[in-house]
Amino acid sequence: MKHAKAFAIKGIMILAVFSFVLSLGFRVSAESTALIAVLFGAVSYGLGDLAFLHKTNNVVTSTAELFIAFILVWAVISMIEGLDADVALPSAFISALLIGVGEYFFHFYIYRHKLGSVDDRSINVSD
């Protein structure tokens, strides 16, 4: 149940950021925005938050998730929406920056609730 709550919190944050930036800011379709949110949520929660976070630290994991978001947004809106680089790259950059900041703070929730593959003694919250 802890993971369901964490995934829901993350999902709301991701959908809010992508909807605001992509759908409202860059006129990306709601379907593409939802696809990006679902793909990013699944990949970043499983790999980033539960596996990678406890092997590195918050800054490294947030940065990795920022790059994942950038690549995913750029790829999906370039291929599915057919948008040129002058729209795809800025939208991916802005989305990734906001996701990176959101992930940084979300990781403190992960730390606090001891989610993942490690106990609380080895969690590095100083980053």
Task: Annotate 26-77 with DSSP letters as a single string.
Answer: H---HHHHHHHHHHHHHHIIIIIIIIITTTS-HHHHHHHHHHHHHHHHHHHH
- Residue 45, domain member (yes or no): yes
Give 11: exposed, middle or buried? Use CB within 10 Å, 0-12, 13-18, 19+.
Answer: middle
Is residue 125 included in any domain, yes or no? no
**What pLDDT, on a 0 to 100 scale, did the predictor assign at position 120?**
42
pLDDT score of 115? 75
**Total domains in the fold of the chain:** 1
The pTM score is: 0.85
Mean pLDDT in consecutive groups of 10 residues from the start of the chain, 127 residues: 86 96 94 95 87 89 95 93 90 97 92 67 49
- For residues 105 and 32, what is the distance between their CA atoms, to the nearest angstrom? 26
What is the extent of the structural domain holding 13? 2-120
Residue 110 covered by a domain: yes
Q: Give the H or E element holding residue 1.
A: none
